[in-house]
């Protein structure tokens, strides 16, 4: 989502949420990976454009996820009407009510299971941030960086 702020991608993501998919190859030109919201909502469509890419399913305790998401991505408020329209369209695609704990957690669990059921084992890494660089680097056949694994995008950074 950090890349969406301050870019011209707001309208593109709104249109995608409404079913008008962009050229994903063009969208991700210059990037080596895509993570987080709103990309995760389009994992199936993006995977069609990059069928050999590793899919990393970042998992966590659903209740902890809800506590974080409800105070950050589901609580984004801005006076920018185009950004608000994008957020509403993305929330519709989410397949759960992001303002309702049980509905959001059910959608979260369903999303995770869909990824696990759909992505071939050799292209899927089910991973938790607490595992750090190791599993990701091993799956990508890359050396583990010397710097510590970054823990960013925290509730504290969002001011909540």
pLDDT above 70: percentage of residues in the chain: 89
List of residues 6+ apart from 40 with CB closer than 8 A: 111
pLDDT number for residue 159: 62
Question: How far is residue 88's CA from residue 17's CA, in Å, rounded to a whole number?
Answer: 9
Contact 112, 44 (CB under 8 A): no
Structure confidence by residue, pLDDT tens digits, 87-113? 888 888 887 888 899 999 999 999 999
The domains of the chain, with CATH numbers, are: 9-158 (3.40.50.300)
Q: What is the DSSP string of 1-15?
A: -TTTTTSTHHHHHHH
**pLDDT over threshold 80, residue 50:** yes
* pLDDT the model gives residue 111: 92
Place of tokens 């695609």: 93
pLDDT, position 95: 76
Q: What is the mean pLDDT of the chain?
A: 87
pLDDT at 153: 62
Query: Residue 158 — pLDDT band, cuts 50, 70, 90?
Result: low
Q: Tell me how far apart the alpha carbons of residues 40 and 144 are, in angstroms, rounded to a whole number.
A: 25
Q: Is 21's pLDDT higher than 70?
A: yes
Query: Lowest-confidence range among 29-38, 42-51, 113-122, 129-138?
Result: 29-38
For residue 113, the model assigns a pLDDT of 96
């Amino acid at each position: 989502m950090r890349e969406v702020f301050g870019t011209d991608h707001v309208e593109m993501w709104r249109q995608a949420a409404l079913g008008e998919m962009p050229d994903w190859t063009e969208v991700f030109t210059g990037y080596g990976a895509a993570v987080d919201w709103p990309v995760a909502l389009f994992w199936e469509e993006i995977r069609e454009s990059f069928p050999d890419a590793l899919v990393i399913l970042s998992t966590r305790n659903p209740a902890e996820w809800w506590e974080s998401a409800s105070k950050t991505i589901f609580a984004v408020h801005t006076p920018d009407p185009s950004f608000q329209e994008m957020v509403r369209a993305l929330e519709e695609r989410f397949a759960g009510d992001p303002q309702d704990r049980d509905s959001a957690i059910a959608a979260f669990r369903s999303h995770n299971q869909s990824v696990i059921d759909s992505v071939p084992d050799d292209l899927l890494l089910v991973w938790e941030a607490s595992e750090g660089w190791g599993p990701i680097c091993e799956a990508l056949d890359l050396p583990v960086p010397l710097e510590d694994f970054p823990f960013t995008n925290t509730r504290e950074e969002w001011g909540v």
